Structure 1
Amino acid sequence: NYETCKEYGIHFYPTVRFFRAFTKQFTTGENYKGADRELQTVRQMMVDFLQNHSQESRPPACPPLDPVSSSDVTSLFDKKAPHYTAVVVESNNSYIGREVILDLIQYENIAVKRALNFDKSFLEKLGITSVPSCYLMHPNGSHGLVNSLKPLRSVFSSYLKSLPGVRRNFFHPLKIKPWKEFDKSKLYMADLESGLHYLFRVELATHKMLEGAELKTFKDFVTISAKLFPGRQPVVKLLETLQEWLVSLPLDKIPYDAILDLVNNKMRISGIFLTKRMEWVGCQGSRPELRGYTCSLWKLFHTLTVQAALRPTALINTGLEDNPRIVLEVMLRYIQHFFGCKACAQHFEEMAKESMDSVQTLDKAVLWLWEKHNVVNNRLAGDLTEDPKFPKVQWPTPDLCPACHEEIKGLHSWNEAQVLQFMKHHYDSENILYKYTESQTDSSDTELKDAREEKDKSLLEKPGGNRENVVLNQELIRDSESKLFNKLLGNHGPAKDSSKSAFESVNHQESRQSVIFLGIGFSNIDMSLCVVLYVASSLFLMIMYFFFRMRSKRWKVKYYRPSV
C-alpha cells in the first residue's frame, strides 16, 4: 500500500487515520492522538468513532452499536428465525458487547446485539445475575443463557463463531510463497537487493520532497552505498549513477518522483537495474508480516560497516573518508528521518547517544553495530514482533562461531577479536550467495520496447497506415524521458517580482544547460557541440569527395589517348 501511504503523507507505522463515511471532498483523514497506543485503548477509541457516526452517514455494512431495549429482546422470544441472535448484556461503560458485534460482522447466520443492565426485571427474566453475560436465541425458537462462558470478549466471540452453521461470509486466501531453503552461515544478495528496493520505492515514497537534513542524509546514504555495496554490477551502476546525479544537481530540494524515475530507469540507461519485488531468503519469516525489511536493513548496514573496514580507501574524494563513524552516523540519520517505526528510531537514537562517540576506528564501528544489534535482540525477545521460527538470540550463535564464545568464572563472555574476524568473513563479498537473484530480471523495459516496436511495425505495414502516428509516438517517448528534468528544473516557486521574470528565465535556461546529463558527464551544451561537429565533419567529407571526384574526371579527359 505504499502508493496510498505516499498520497496521504503517512511516514511512520503504525499510523491510525479515521475517514468518515460518504465524505465528498478529498481528505487525509483524522489522526489518532490518544493518550497511549496500547491495543485496548486504540480499539475502544475506534469503537467510539464508529458509534458516534450520525445515523444519516452510517455505512450500510456498519452494524448498529447502540443498545437495544429490553422489549426488543423479549419480542424475539419463541420466534423462529433464519439465524442465531446473541444478546450481550453489559454495563453502560463496557465495550465487550460492541467489540463482539464487530468481531462477528463478517460472519453469517448470526446477529449480535447489546443490551444494558438497567432493567432489573428484565435481568431476572433472563436469569442474569452478573454482567457481562451472553443470552442466545436459536433459529428454532429456543433460547437461554450461556452459563459456561467467562465474561471476556475473546471467549464470547470464539463461542459464537463455533456455533453450527455460523461461518465467515467471505474469505480471501493469502498467497503463501513457498519456503526457500537457505544456509544461515551465508549472506544472500536477494535480501540486500530486496531491501534496497523497499528502501527506494516504498519507505522513501512517503516523502514527496527531499530537502534540508533529509536530502543531506539521502545523498550520504547513496554515496556510501555506491562506494561500499558489494552487489551485482547493474545494481552498483544504478547506485553510482544516482550518486553522481545527486552530486551534480545544483538544487536544495528534490522531488521524490524524480528520484523514482531514475531508480526505475525511465531514461533507458543501459546496464542499470534494481529488482522491483521483495524476495526474502535469509530474511524470510514464518508469516508475511514478520522479519523481511527490518532484517534486510540490519544486514545492509552490517555489510556497509564491514566493507568500509575491509576497503578503507573506498570513500576517498567523497568528503566522508576521514570519519570512521560515517556509516553509523548515516544509519542513525536515515533511521531518524525515513524509517517507518518511530519507536525503533527513538531506541536506536538513545543507544547512539550513549556510546557512538567512542568509536574511533572502522573496526570499532563494525563491533559497535554488532553489539547494539544484540541489545535490540535482547529487548525484543518475546515481543509480538518476534518470529517464533527465528527467536531473538545473541548472535553469532555458538554453531556459527564457536571461538566467539568464552566463559570467564562461569559467566558467558564474548571474544571480540574473534567476533570481528567472523563479521568480516560473514559480510565479505566472498560469502554472498546469488541464489534466488537469477529470476530477478527487470523485463518490464524489454516488454515495453517490444510492444512499442510491434505497434510501430503494424502501423507501417497497414496500406493506409499513418506514419505520422509513429513519429508522434516516438516524440511522446522522448518527451516522457525528459520529464525527469522538467520535475527538477521546471518550477521552484513563484517569482517574487515580475520585473525579475526575464532575468530568472535566463538563469533557468542556464541552470538547465549546466545540469549534467544523469551524471554521465555530458551537458546539453556538450551534446549540441557534438551534433554541430558531426554535421560539420559530414559536410567536409562530402566536399572532399566531390572535389576528388571532379579532379579524377579532369585527369581522365586530359590524358585520354584514343586508339588508332
Structure 2
Amino acid sequence: MNWHLFVLKIGYFIAVVNSAVIPDSEDVKDQGLYTDTDHVTILTVKNFEKKVYGQPQAIIVQFYNSYCGHCRAFAPKFKSLALEIESWKNIVKLAVIDCSVEENNAICRDYEVMAYPSLRYLHERYVKGNGNVGEKISAIDTAENLKIEIIKKIQHEQRIGRLRMSQPLNIAAYATIDAVLSNVPVNTMYTFLMFESENSTLGSELTLDVNDYKNVSVVRVYNDSELAKQFGINNVGLVAVKRNHETLKFGISDTNPTVQNLLKSLNAYLLNNRYVFPIRNTDFNDFSNHNNNDNTHSKQDLDAVYYSDLEKTIKTSLHTEITRHKILTGEPLGVLEDYIDVLITAFPFKHNNLKVFLTQLNASLKSKNQWTGAEIYDLVKALENSMAVYSSDLDYVGCKGSQPQYRGYTCGLWTLFHTLTVNSYQKEENLGPKVLKTMLGYVKHFFGCTECSEHFQAMAEKNRLLDVQGNDKAILWLWIAHNEVNLRLAGDVTEDPQHPKIQFPSAKNCPECRLARGAWNLKAVFQYLTRMYDGSYIQMGRTARSADTTNSPFSNLDIGMLSLL
C-alpha cells in the first residue's frame, strides 16, 4: 500500500493566542486581531460596561477568539465593513472583544458565547441584566452581505419604535412632491427621492451613508408609484428636490446601479450647489495587514519541542478555553476530567508542581457533578496562587509566530497532543488511543474555533478515530492527520508567511523519512516522531539541542493494522 497517498480530512487548526494583560487604562490601542485604526471599538473587561450599556446608538459586538482560524479569516471582512459604514456610527457602531484574553473571559461567559466569531446586536440604551446577551446575527461570508443584514435589522428596529435618530428607512407610495416634502424635517434643504422596489436595500444604504449630512434627506419611493410615473421611472431612479420644488432627475445608466455610483451623483449635485460636507475621520488604511512590524522570529529549530510551549498551552486551556462555559456538567465535565487525567498520566513533567497542581485540580473537579465556568476559573487561580506551577517568563518559543496573529496556541495544542501520544507509547496499553479520544472530546467541547471543531469531529468520524488500537497507531494517526491539515492550509490566509505549511518532517530535517518519489518511510518517520516528542528531548531553554539517533521500535509495528486509521 502507498502510505504517502493515505488521505485524511481534518478541521482547520491554525491560529494564534493573544493573552496579553489589559493595561490599567480603559481603552487599548490594539488587542488580538484589531487596532484602533480599524474603525471598531475595542472592548475589554475595563471598558465594556461604559462602552456598551446606555449608549444612544445600537452596537454590534463581535465576540472572537484571536487563535481561531475562522475569526482570523473573518477579521478583514469585518474591518472592511467597519470602514464602509464609518458614517453610520451615530446609528450603529461595530465593536470587538477578544475572548482569548483571560481578563475578558468572564464577559464572554456571561454573554453565553460558545462559538467564534459570534455577532450580537445590542439596541440603543441597552441595559445590563440577567438574560440580556444581545440578539445573535449570523457571521455572513462577505462584508457586503453582512451590511445588508445590518440594514434589514435597522429597518426592523424602526418598525418597533427604536433607532428614531436615523432617517426612516421605510418605503412608501407618493403621488406628489408636496406629499414627500410634508414628511421630511422642516429644515431640509435637499431631498433625494430614491425610487426602487421594496426588497431593494439601495435606498436604505444611501440614507445611512448620508445620515450625518445636515439638512439633507433621502426618501424611499416605490418605483411603481404615481410619482415614479411622473418622472418616467420604472426601475431604479434618483431625483433631487430642493425646498422650492426645483427637481433634477439623475440619469441611471447601469442596469444594476450601485450605492457607490448613486452616492457619487448625490455628492456631485450637492457640491454643485456649494453644500458644505461634514468632516469625517476616515483613514483608508490597509486593513488587511495592520500589524506590519518586523517581528522576525529568531530561527529556532522548529522540529524541537519546548517545555514553555507545552506549559503555556495547558495554562491557556485552563484559563480561557474551558472556563468560557457558563455551566459544565455531564459530557463536557467528563471530558475535562479525562483531559486532566491524560495530562497527569502521559505528560512529561519537568518539575513536580505542575503535576501536583493537576492532581489537586482533578480531585476537586471530581467532588461535584456540576461546575460553573467562573467556579473552575477561581479554583484554577487559587491552586496556582498556592504554588509555583509554571516556569517563569512563560511564552511560546517553537510555536511563536512571526507576528502575534500567527501560530501560538493552536500550534501549542497540536504539539501537546503529539507529545502525549508519544509519551504514552512506553506506558499502559492503549493509553495513546485514549489520548486521541480525549483530544476529540476537548476539540468538540472546548476548542475556541467552531468551524475547526466541526471539521475535526467530521474527520474523526469518517476516519474511525475511535477504532484506533495501540499506542503506536495513535502516534501515526495524529501525524497523518496533522500533515493533511498542513496540505490543505498551505497558502491559506491563516498561514504564517515565515513558517509555511509543509509535509512534516521535511526532507531536509529527515532525509531518511522519504523514499523514492516522495513516499514516506514509515519506520524512519516513527523513529523521528518518538525522538522529537519524547520527554527527554524536550527543550527547557530557547536553544535547540542536536538530535541523537536512537533505535526505532517501529519494526515491531504491524503496518497492516494502519488500515484501521
Alignment TM class, shorter chain as reference: 0.5 to 0.7
Query: Residues of 2 paired with 1:47 and 1:343: CA distance?
Result: 26
Secondary structure of 1:11 counterpart: coil
Query: What is the Cα deviation at residue 246 of structure 1?
Result: 3.7
Residue pairs, 1:94-493, within 5 angstroms: 94-95=200-201, 118=223, 119=228, 120=231, 122=238, 125-130=249-254, 131-132=257-258, 133-134=261-262, 135-137=265-267, 141-142=271-272, 167-168=281-282, 178-183=295-300, 184-233=302-351, 234-247=353-366, 249=367, 251-265=368-382, 268-273=385-390, 279-309=395-425, 311-313=426-428, 322-353=430-461, 354-408=463-517, 412-435=518-541
Identity across the alignment (%): 31
Contact 1:200 1:260 (C-alpha < 8 Å) held by counterparts = yes
Which stretch of structure 1 is more off in the superposition, 221-230 or 16-25? 16-25
Query: What is the Cα deviation at residue 365 of structure 1?
Result: 0.5
Contact 2:321 2:448 (C-alpha < 8 Å) held by counterparts = yes
Larger relative contact order (CA 8 Å, sep ≥ 6): 2
Which stretch of structure 1 is more off in the superposition, 212-221 or 121-130? 121-130
Report how many aligned residue pairs link the two structures. Answer: 393
Q: 1:349 to 1:196 in 2, by over 3 A?
A: same
Corresponding residue of 1:482:
none
Secondary structure of 1:325 counterpart: helix
Query: What is the Cα deviation at residue 236 of structure 1?
Result: 3.3
Contact 2:158 2:164 (C-alpha < 8 Å) held by counterparts = no
Query: What is the Cα deviation at residue 179 of structure 1?
Result: 4.4
Q: Does 1:29 align with 2:134?
A: yes
- Map Cα deviations across residues 164-183 of structure 1 (whole Å, 9 max, x no partner): 98642799997979444241
Question: Could you say which structure has the larger radius of gyration?
Answer: 1
Query: What is the Cα deviation at residue 125 of structure 1?
Result: 3.3
Query: What is the Cα deviation at residue 380 of structure 1?
Result: 3.3
Query: What is the Cα deviation at residue 364 of structure 1?
Result: 1.2
Contact 1:238 1:273 (C-alpha < 8 Å) held by counterparts = no
Secondary structure of 1:49 counterpart: helix
Counterpart code for 1:377: N
Query: Residues of 1 paired with 2:412 and 2:375: CA distance?
Result: 25
Contact 2:319 2:377 (C-alpha < 8 Å) held by counterparts = yes
Contact 2:120 2:136 (C-alpha < 8 Å) held by counterparts = yes
Query: Residues of 1 paired with 2:419 and 2:338: CA distance?
Result: 16
Query: Residues of 2 paired with 1:177 and 1:108: CA distance?
Result: 41
Corresponding residue of 2:59:
none
Corresponding residue of 1:47:
151
Q: How big is the alpha-carbon RMSD for the aligned residues of Structure 1 and Structure 2?
A: 4.6
Q: 1:385 to 1:67 in 2, by over 3 A?
A: farther
Q: Structure 1: any 5+ residue segments left out of the alignment?
A: 76-84, 145-162, 314-320, 438-564
- Map Cα deviations across residues 21-53 of structure 1 (whole Å, 9 max, x no partner): 22346212223479x867655443233112322
Query: Residues of 2 paired with 1:364 and 1:290: CA distance?
Result: 30
Secondary structure of 1:254 counterpart: strand
Contact 2:106 2:374 (C-alpha < 8 Å) held by counterparts = no
Q: Structure 2: any 5+ residue segments left out of the alignment?
A: 1-103, 182-190, 233-237, 240-247, 544-565
Query: Residues of 2 paired with 1:407 and 1:420: CA distance?
Result: 18
Query: Residues of 1 paired with 2:529 and 2:193: CA distance?
Result: 61
Residue pairs, 1:17-96, within 5 angstroms: 17-24=120-127, 26=129, 27-32=132-137, 41-54=145-158, 57-58=162-163, 93-95=199-201
- Map Cα deviations across residues 47-70 of structure 1 (whole Å, 9 max, x no partner): 31123222853285x787668999
- Map Cα deviations across residues 234-266 of structure 1 (whole Å, 9 max, x no partner): 43332233234445x2x3223333332332135
Query: What is the Cα deviation at residue 112 of structure 1?
Result: 11
- Map Cα deviations across residues 288-319 of structure 1 (whole Å, 9 max, x no partner): 4443322221111111111111x415xxxxxx
Q: Does 1:7 align with 2:122?
A: no
Query: Residues of 2 paired with 1:204 and 1:164: CA distance?
Result: 48
Secondary structure of 2:452 counterpart: helix
TM, length-normalised to structure 1: 0.58
TM, length-normalised to structure 2: 0.58
Query: What is the Cα deviation at residue 362 of structure 1?
Result: 0.9
Corresponding residue of 1:486:
none
Secondary structure of 1:168 counterpart: coil
Secondary structure of 2:519 counterpart: strand
Counterpart code for 1:141: L
- Map Cα deviations across residues 462-501 of structure 1 (whole Å, 9 max, x no partner): xxxxxxxxxxxxxxxxxxxxxxxxxxxxxxxxxxxxxxxx
Query: Residues of 2 paired with 1:283 and 1:164: CA distance?
Result: 48
